[in-house]
Amino acid sequence: MRRLQDVRVGGDQIIRAVHRVLPSRPRHTNKRSFVSRGRATGGGMHAPVLYMVKVWVSPDGGERYLRWLEEKHMAEVIREPGFLWAQRCRLEQRDEQGWLGYLLIYGLESRAALERYLGSPARERFWRELEPLADVHRAERFYGTVDLRLEAVTPS
């Protein structure tokens, strides 16, 4: 089952929130994917540059970090110039301490857009916002240029 709702994140910017509820699992409000409406190319979620963050979240208090991602951070990041979309994937694996894994994936229009973001005041603000959450998450950031993209062909 999928439900769509518009989420206002500041000013006149509206983000489409896609809630996917899996029938075999209980519903969790922290399962969202934010997509900037109308900016992804060709109706899909393609981007020439990807910025990814692998995060481990503590089962004790980590909901504060997940709430910050869901209600504030990810929507603010895709409002930055050059960002096209964002997704959060809950990983099936846990780390050696039993912490939950997540992969945040952001699509950008260019490497120049990523470089602007990495040196931006917004990024500095995000680092400050993360300080009180340092005890409930660990993150590794990486990025690259998409050099191969394959799509399945549906037989006619």
pLDDT tens string 50-78: 999 999 999 999 999 999 999 999 999 99
Lowest-pLDDT range of 18-32, 66-80, 100-114, 128-142: 18-32
Query: What pLDDT was estimated at residue 43?
Result: 53
14 assigned to some structural domain: no
- Asked if 50 and 105 count as a contact pair (C-beta separation under 8 A), the reply is yes
Which pTM was predicted?
Answer: 0.73
CB-count burial class (<10 Å; 0-12, 13-18, 19+) for 148:
exposed
Whether 153 is covered by a domain: the verdict is: no
CATH number of the domain encompassing residue 114? 3.30.70.100
Residue at 152 is within a domain? no
Is 154 domain-assigned?
A: no
pLDDT in tens, 3-59: 444 544 444 444 555 444 344 444 343 444 444 443 444 557 899 999 999 999 999
Residue span of the structural domain in which 91 resides: 40-145
Exposed (0-12), middle (13-18) or buried (19+): which is 96, by Cβ within 10 Å? Answer: exposed
Overall number of domains in the chain: 1
99 domain residue, yes or no: yes
Average pLDDT (70-98) is: 97
Three-class SS state of 18:
strand
